[in-house]
Amino acid sequence: MAKKPAEKVEYNYEGTNRGGTRVKGTIYALSDTHAKSSLRKQGINPLKVRKKPQPLFGGAKKITAADISIFARQMATMMQAGVPLVQSFEIIGQGHESVSMQKMILGIKTEVEGGIVADQDRSLAAIVAHRTPHLPKYALQRIALIDCWP
């Protein structure tokens, strides 16, 4: 049985860059160790790396039809521009205003990074259907057509 790929978590960090200036930000990583390693590769000496706290009372708003529409348009633009699929998910996910959309898009990206396997129904359409149960059936059919693209 295939092991479920680990999901990246959002971490807040503080550190210093190569010039000695203090920097703050967020980074997605599998663990705090991975986050620190990634920051060092970017030239940032991490001083504090902590999991981003979750809101106490929900916090994330629902995904709307407008969110899905914007996401679809952004993905179409990225694909027409020739941007690789995983990189497209990363760019769109990081830039989205809605926390719930960010979580959904970056979750899809993480699963796609784990590999799309035809014999285990791990197609792009299956991954998206798993992550977005509210997506209309016709949208999933359009995504399934992308899987068949040469």
* Mean pLDDT score of the chain: 79
> Per residue in 45-89, pLDDT tens?
999 999 987 665 455 567 777 887 888 888 889 889 999 888 998
Task: Please give the sequence-ordered ranges of beta strands (E in DSSP) within the chain, or none if there are none.
Answer: 9-16, 22-29, 45-51
Provide the whole-model pTM: 0.53
**Cβ–Cβ under 8 Å, residues 105 and 89:** yes
Q: How confident is the model at residue 39 (pLDDT cuts 50, 70, 90)?
A: very high
Q: Quick one: average pLDDT of 137-146?
A: 74
Q: Which of 147, 145, 125 is nearest to 135 (CA)?
A: 125
Collapse the DSSP code of 50 into the 3-class scheme (helix H, G, I; strand E, B; otherwise coil) and give the result.
strand
d(CA 22, CA 62): 35
**Domain ranges within the chain, ordered by starting residue:** 9-51, 65-148
